[in-house]
């Protein structure tokens, strides 16, 4: 069974940038939303740190649930 997480993403300088809301410190980017999803899954699997990283307050973002 796949775990379900929320991918919070935004566009920065033409790139899709995102993070997993439920897993602090898992961030990635991609040229397309599909590439971001693939990259965030890889980042999740490689992540060993539990360091919290905050988003700047002025960034508008969207959310998308994904299975990992």
Q: What is the CATH number of the domain that holds 22?
A: 3.30.160.250
pLDDT tens-digit readout, 3-62: 789 999 999 999 999 999 998 889 999 999 999 999 999 998 887 444 444 545 655 667
pLDDT of residue 48: 47
pLDDT of residue 57: 60
Give the separation between CA 55 and CA 34, rounded to whole angstroms. 22
Ranges of H-type helices in 4-68: 33-46
Instruction: Report the domain count for the chain.
Output: 1
**Exposure of 25 by Cβ count < 10 A (0-12 exposed, 13-18 middle, 19+ buried)?**
middle
What is the residue range of 61's domain?
4-67
Q: Which two tokens stand for residue 42?
A: 């890889």
pTM: 0.67
Predicted confidence at residue 51, as pLDDT, reads 46
Q: How far apart are CA 18 and CA 5, in angstroms?
A: 12
């Amino acid at each position: 069974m796949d775990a379900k997480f929320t991918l919070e993403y935004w566009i920065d300088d033409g790139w899709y940038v995102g993070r997993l809301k439920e897993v602090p410190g898992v961030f990635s980017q991609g040229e397309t939303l599909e590439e971001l999803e693939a990259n965030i899954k890889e980042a999740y699997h490689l992540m060993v740190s539990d360091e919290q990283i905050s988003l700047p307050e002025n960034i508008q973002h969207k959310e998308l649930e994904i299975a990992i």
